[in-house]
A and B are shown apart, each in its own frame.
Chain A
Amino acid sequence: MTSTADLTTHGNYADYVTGLPVADTAAPDGPIAERWDRRRFEAKLVNPANRRKHTIIVVGTGLAGGAAGATLAEQGYHVEQFCYQDSPRRAHSIAAQGGINAAKNYRNDGDSVHRLFYDTVKGGDFRARESNVHRLAQISVEIIDQCVAQGVPFAREYGGLLDTRSFGGVQVSRTFYARGQTGQQLLLGAYQALSRQIAAGNVAMHPRTEMLDVIVVDGRARGIVARDLITGKIDTYFADAVVLATGGYGNVFYLSTNAMNSNATAVWRAHRRGAYFANPCFTQIHPTCIPRTGDHQSKLTLMSESLRNDGRIWVPKTRGDDRPPNKIPEDERDYYLERIYPSFGNLVPRDIASRAAKNVCDEGRGVGPGGQGVYLDFADALARMGRKAVEAKYGNLFDMYARITDEDPYQVPMRIYPAVHYTMGGLWVDYDLQTTIPGLFAIGEANFSDHGANRLGASALMQGLADGYFVLPSTINDYLARHPHHDEVSGEHPVVRDVVAETEDRLAKLLAVDGDRTPDSFHRELGELMWEFCGMARTETGLRKALERIPQIRAEFWRRIKVPGTGEEFNQSLEKANRIVDYLELAELMCLDALHRAESCGGHFREEYRTPDGEAARRDGEFSYAAAWEFVATGDAPVLHKEDLVFEYVHPTQRSYA
């Protein structure tokens, strides 16, 4: 797994070198349905009596982190857990609305583990690893059992059994849900399990503490450097293994549906210390978000995809038609999804719906402020179902829309526009969810493994909980059992001293610049650049332009940033600025990855690579691999390691929704 590439200095960031391929050595072979059992059997175990001698650091308390912390503590390990929020209950998993998939086949509608596996690999546009996805489908069943036992109030039918619905254009009803707050309910389940372990003393919880670096000693992850956000104190924490459950990096785009403070610092710092970063350009753009209203916009709000079940999407046929929507006659409206994709209509997958919206807006036919929106019209549904039925089904979403836009969606069509929502890319991990730094694991959205180039609806919750409750707690044993006797590491170790000094220097430097631009102004500038050139549709020229611009912004950042206050206090500007430092490097890697992947697949759409009818054209011959990037130095071209993807069970086909 280590790089042997020639590491001469590269003048141009885009002149990356290709190193040795990277392989997933942890995955067993044999029939795919037996691989997880085999891995669990072959993995070494840690004697229960010895577990309490092991400390594991878990960073993040979302679905993956919360579930992992609770489960590892139940197994007897000592867990040190961290989150930047004031409480572990606030992790952004809480905002997931739709549901969680599981191959329970309660509907007897032909679902099975194999079908969920198949749908996920296909939905990911054949850029995910088969063995991981199959394991995910297997575990999905156990997740529902676990959550029900914890008291998660899933929707039920009158007979008292669990209700399911079909989601995201899938043909089976395998999505379990708790009204529009499934993420909240699942997260609270994990939070409560974690709380129980905190009370028992098995988990030491550090809220309002942000990880700023990982400590790697003798090639193994041995701890983290973290900042107490209240006092500003920088501390070191040591452990036998470190688990990153820190979520995705969608906030690189400034405007996204991520929480304001969700950030990429943990994964980026791990990447800088040697963990490969895989498929950074795979980002998901969600089609049904509320459009921005102006430059003051700080974040975007998602509305459940379920709205597309009954709403019809349209724009005026002529450019610049600024009549109010109800003054535009039926024959002057373009129901473009129904026109282009007659069989799927408004229910085409997320990436396709998003791109189509962008296209009509680029043609000048967008509606609302700045022409950045399309109508999602319920007039037909209201006429067909009646207001009462619409209210029962979508009332809370309509309320949310009304509150944010001050428009009545029962009278005026809603306006929607795509927004960055999820990042499929992340730290490269093997079947054990271990990164290329031994002892450093990445789970949930922070890793890259299961969704390929596009994630299906209701699969993020499934993956987070699968990793946290079931996969990591089984695989981490193997690492700990094989490396039981670590030398003690202390703050006096030269490596530790260096990492701490580096962190302190970075913060001190941020405070010392005392320039004339706020952190937000840089973040917004970077975000706009990324949205334009590395957003829904990418071109070689655009990406090259972005790659040229990012180092300039970075240089300007270090010249003109202004962070008030000191590092020894509660300082939200300093937190923000420090996260932007990492965005400014990660953005560059995302653009490079997008540039190098000269094909269109899933959420990655390159204008140059499309089928004659304008759809994404995959190039399996050249790009059927996961791109794992190795860090060299800030601004220097990274090294590409390819992990070839082998499809033994699901054979790549071109997706077609026409």
Chain B
Amino acid sequence: MALDTRTDRRPSFAGLLWGSTVGKKTAMAVSGIVMLLYLVVHMLGNLKIFFGAADFDAYAAWLRTIGEPFLHHEWFLWIARVVLVAAVVVHAVAAYQLSRRDIAARPTNYAHPSPGHHPWPRRFAPHLLLRRRASYATRTMRWGGVILGLFIVWHILDLTTLTVNPRAEAGHPYENVVATFSTWYGNTVYIVAMLALGLHIRHGFWSAAQTLGAGRPGRDRLLRGLANGLAAALTLGFIAVPVSVMTGVVS
């Protein structure tokens, strides 16, 4: 009939999500928030270092016993690791695929060197003028993500598997941490990564909220405030450890 304008063909929920840019971005947002929640807990746990080696090491040991006796020793930790790895993989694969698509969608750059705006000084009606540019955090998401990915590898080799740790004493996380932050490169890598993390979260949290549909006209200030607050708290919280080691507060 002439009025029929569509046919039925619908993939599954997962198919719809992974098969579209909007859905894939949703997967990125969800995995990002999983990692963010982990980071908040991780950062708070790190602060135990200020209560001394005994407290910190006991905390590390306790992590392995969560869920016992229902869960076997270290199982919780492994479950958490699996979830985190899954989140990282989903986040990274989606980011990679979307980025490739994005670059292909805009193959030619503008010849005009870096868009910058010199507003014409209007005597009245300033609201007719533009324009706010995307922030530094927004423009560095991709490189920031790559930096964080590399950092995670180093971080695991350093403090989980102890492969590259200068002290590498299993069961003594406090000493291992102090050892890492006693080297110039350990501090540099860590602090740079945490600054990148702050930037990544600053845009990432707000962006995830948009992607998950939480953006509303009256809520933008709140979301941006939350994003900035989370970014600042996490960055400062994490950086507090190497800075304390460097300044001798923790030794």
* Chains A, B in direct contact (C-beta < 8 Å): yes
Residues of A whose CB lies within 8 Å of any CB of B are 51-52, 73-76, 196-197, 199-200, 202, 399, 402-403, 408, 410-411
**Cβ-closest chain B residue relative to A408:** B124
Cβ of B131 to closest chain A Cβ, rounded Å:
15
Chain B residues within an 8 Å CB radius of A51: 2
Chain A residues within an 8 Å CB radius of B128: 399, 402-403
Residue B9 is within 8 A (CB to CB) of chain A in the complex: no
With beta carbons under 8 angstroms apart, the residue of A75, A196, A399 that contacts B5 is A196
Within 8 A of A (CB), among B81-117: none
List 5 A-B pairs, minimum CB-CB distance, nearest first.
A408-B124, A200-B5, A76-B2, A402-B125, A196-B5
A410 vs B125: C-alpha distance when bound (angstroms)? 10
Residues of B whose CB lies within 8 Å of any CB of A are 2-6, 123-125, 127-128
Cβ of B123 to closest chain A Cβ, rounded Å:
7
What are 8 pairs between A and B in contact, CB < 8 Å?
A: A52-B2, A74-B2, A197-B5, A199-B5, A200-B4, A403-B125, A403-B128, A408-B123
Contact indicator B123/A73 (Cβ below 8 Å): no
Chain A residues within an 8 Å CB radius of B124: 402, 408, 410-411
A197 vs B3: C-alpha distance when bound (angstroms)? 8
**Cβ-closest chain A residue relative to B120:** A406
**Extra pairs beyond A202-B2, A399-B125, A408-B125 (6, CB < 8 Å):** A52-B2, A74-B2, A200-B3, A399-B127, A402-B124, A408-B124
A288 vs B138: C-alpha distance when bound (angstroms)? 46
Cβ of B193 to closest chain A Cβ, rounded Å:
47
Cβ of A192 to closest chain B Cβ, rounded Å:
12
Cβ of B7 to closest chain A Cβ, rounded Å:
11
Contact indicator B2/A200 (Cβ below 8 Å): yes
Cβ of B172 to closest chain A Cβ, rounded Å:
67
Chain B residues within an 8 Å CB radius of A403: 125, 128
Chain A residues within an 8 Å CB radius of B5: 196-197, 199-200
Chain A residues within an 8 Å CB radius of B3: 74, 200
Cβ of B48 to closest chain A Cβ, rounded Å:
57
A200 vs B2: C-alpha distance when bound (angstroms)? 8
A76 vs B1: C-alpha distance when bound (angstroms)? 8
A402 vs B127: C-alpha distance when bound (angstroms)? 11
Contact indicator A73/B2 (Cβ below 8 Å): yes
Cβ of A156 to closest chain B Cβ, rounded Å:
19
Cβ of A17 to closest chain B Cβ, rounded Å:
48
A73 vs B2: C-alpha distance when bound (angstroms)? 8
A152 vs B146: C-alpha distance when bound (angstroms)? 46
**Cβ-closest chain B residue relative to A48:** B2
**Cβ-closest chain B residue relative to A196:** B5
Chain B residues within an 8 Å CB radius of A202: 2
**Cβ-closest chain A residue relative to B3:** A74
Chain A residues within an 8 Å CB radius of B127: 399
Cβ of B125 to closest chain A Cβ, rounded Å:
5
Chain B residues within an 8 Å CB radius of A410: 124
**Cβ-closest chain B residue relative to A407:** B124
**Cβ-closest chain A residue relative to B125:** A402
Chain B residues within an 8 Å CB radius of A76: 2
**Cβ-closest chain B residue relative to A195:** B5
A581 vs B132: C-alpha distance when bound (angstroms)? 47
A36 vs B5: C-alpha distance when bound (angstroms)? 32
Query: Which of A73, A74, A200 has most B Cβ within 10 Å?
Result: A200
Query: Which of B2, B4, B123 has most A Cβ within 10 Å?
Result: B2
A199 vs B4: C-alpha distance when bound (angstroms)? 10
A202 vs B127: C-alpha distance when bound (angstroms)? 45
A408 vs B125: C-alpha distance when bound (angstroms)? 8
**Cβ-closest chain A residue relative to B2:** A76
Chain B residues within an 8 Å CB radius of A411: 124
Chain B residues within an 8 Å CB radius of A74: 2-3
Chain B residues within an 8 Å CB radius of A73: 2
Cβ of A22 to closest chain B Cβ, rounded Å:
37
A73 vs B5: C-alpha distance when bound (angstroms)? 12
**Cβ-closest chain A residue relative to B4:** A200
Cβ of B224 to closest chain A Cβ, rounded Å:
28
**Cβ-closest chain A residue relative to B1:** A76
A408 vs B123: C-alpha distance when bound (angstroms)? 9
